[in-house]
Amino acid sequence: MIEDNKPMKKIYLTILTIFSLSALDLCAQGFSIPDYKKALWMTTRMYGGQRSGTNNWLVYNHLPNGVSSNLTGISFAGDKDGAVDLSGGWHDCADHVKFGQTQFYSAYVLLKSYAEISNGYSDYYAYDYKGYKNANKWNWEDNAHAPNGIPDILDEVKHATDFFIKCTPNSSTFYYQIGQGGPDHMQWVTSVKMQTNAVSAGGEPRVVYKNPADASMPGFCGATLALMARLYSKYDPTYAATCLTHATYAYDYAKAHPGTVGSPDGGFYGANTHWEDEYVDLCTELFFATNNTSYKTEAISFANNTNKDPNIYYSFDYTNNGELAWYNLALLGQTAFKTKFIDHVNADFIGKVDGNGIYTGGGNWGTLRYVANAAWMAGLSAKLGNTNSNLNKFVYTNIDYIMGKNAQNQSFIVGFGAKNPLHPHHRNVYLSDANVGDAGQQTLTIPAKNQQFGYMVGGVRSGAYADQITNYQTSEGGIDYNAGLVGALAYINSVLAPVVNGLAEDLYGNNSISVFPNPSSDGFNLQSTADYTVRIHNELGKTLQEFNSSRVHSFGNNLQPGLYHVVFSQGGKNIKTINVLKQ
């Protein structure tokens, strides 16, 4: 009897150990797990409110007075260069220009975070938001999500990669900006209305910019497409193949155009400081997508050439992102860069805080983007094995501050928390086409549908926040502001409540395994690149089923509701375990 109880005691001890480790994390953070999940849902869905073209949920069903009904909810679908369709992509901030400097960067940051921290992300809704549309309910608490079996972050970034494919029609052509900042800023109206304005006031046809002497933007563009090709192959292999083809076009263009440029009209965005960083990212992702070692060799050549060694600057943002090149070189097996990355994070992010533990680096314009990016950097370093005892505390402290745990109880995420920005600098969120002046803007209110926008404003690191539309240095946000925040929130969720959906993959291995949908009230589908022996265990470790899987297999219809561990093995060796939830 004593011997028979040993396995059970071991299971209970393991459960107790896991609970104790989780409790240590919980003691250091200031919000509940549901709060972090809601915040990640909001800040991810924010990108759907930045969509140009169609399927922008902020302006869904919006039709300004005097505008043709065939433009209901549509923005700048006429963007083109001659016969080349350039519709789609993301509006940048409060404005409606599509700037390459921030768009290509933001998409890669979002997708890289999913690749590295996939068990922090969930699937609540579909690309077209059909659940919210059908129920006419748009808030988290309404639970009208209607998932589609694809992580929300991939749905959001796919709208960008659809546009990136258009930006790279061949190896010698690259589109990087649509619209101009000056005309775009002339009126305070929605994008649905603005497209019908005169060209001088931001209307169509908008100016198109292409073929810059730049490798930075095509570097991020191509890296995103190559990574999407890898991540999306199980959902749509044809689309994945298209992404990979256009990633190679971006590579050819970047290779032929070393250098960097800023935005071409008025300098709204500066040039990246070091084009080689993005080129390393591009080569790395092409290697992982194709297994062509020439890309790996080329990426590593930058690490071995002191004139091209990826550089680190004063903080991490769209112009200063050498950390990603270091991280990717570490993934390629360059252990020196793994050490450099972890040491840099510990010294220059985790070690650079004020008396309240808030990161102090970066600039004062859009200052909280630097706080969020620092937290994301720390989360990435944990994936490389950073054992700094202050790492999770640093992430929690900085993200909790953004969420509202501060002296003012001020959340800086539109729609999150009791005291959140009611007057963000953003035109579409108000659905107002009255073109009010500065004084009138402060009287605008966000309609109920759009109140949980998830848009992080630039904010402040100390003192009171002035909730004023016209104070755009602190009240405006943007696609690059939210990118690091989404990644940091995903890291927190992966630590406190890893997503049990089978979507986490061995992305850098040869044998990819996925189980979906998950959770499921019916059965589960298994897809893999190899054949396995599969065992299903209950929570106490008892084997309930065992079978040999083909590369496409269904199982679990007869399981009772509960949590199960699906163990994949080959030749008697366990390869991977995926947790599934039967509802």
- Model confidence over 120-171: pLDDT tens digits? 999 999 999 999 999 999 999 999 999 999 999 999 999 999 999 999 999 9
Based on the fold, state whether residues 17 and 158 are members of the same structural domain. no
DSSP state of 165: H
CA distance 220 to 479: 15
> Does residue 58 sit in the same domain as residue 118?
yes
How many helices and strands, by DSSP H and E, does the chain display?
A: 18, 12
Q: Are residues 523 and 537 in the same domain?
A: yes
CA dist., res. 564 & res. 537, Å (int):
6
- Shared domain check, 339 and 301: yes
Q: Give the CATH number of the domain where residue 41 resides.
A: 1.50.10.10
pLDDT on residue 92: 96
Residues 390 and 510 in one domain: no
Domains identified in the chain, total number: 3
DSSP 144: -
CA distance linking residue 7 with residue 541, whole number of Å: 9
Same domain flag for 22 and 39: no
- 40 with 18, same domain: the answer is no
Question: Which tokens in the block code for residue 523?
Answer: 């059965």
Same domain, 457 and 540: no
- The gap from C-alpha 341 to its chain's centroid, in whole angstroms, comes to 21
Q: How far apart are CA 580 and CA 582, in angstroms?
A: 7
Structure tokens at 440: 């009138």
Assess if residue 501 is contained within a domain.
no
**Same domain, residue pair 515 and 477:** no
45 shares a domain with 18: no
Task: Report the CATH number at residue 555.
Answer: 2.60.40.1930
Residue 365 is assigned to a structural domain of this protein:
yes
Domain-embedded: residue 385: yes
pLDDT for 18 equals 38
Residue numbers of the chain with a pLDDT score lower than 70: 1-28, 306-307, 309, 500-512, 529, 551-552
The residues annotated with a catalytic role in the active site are 425, 467, 476
With respect to residue 550, please indicate whether it lies within any of the assigned structural domains. Answer: yes
Inter-CA distances, 327 with 137, 323, 324, 378, 521, Å: 41, 6, 5, 12, 39
Residue 275 lies in a domain: yes
**Are 258 and 406 found together in one domain?**
yes
pLDDT at 529: 63
The percent helix, strand, coil of the chain (3-state, each to 5) is 45, 10, 45
pLDDT digits (tens, 9 = 90+) for 357-397: 999 999 889 999 999 999 999 999 999 999 999 999 999 99
**Can you give the residue range of the structural domain that contains 470?**
31-496
Given 496, 519, 539, which residue is the final one in a domain? Answer: 496
Residues 131 and 21 in one domain: no
From 468, 496, 524, give the residue that closes a domain. Answer: 496
CA–CA gap between residue 112 and residue 224 (Å, rounded): 8
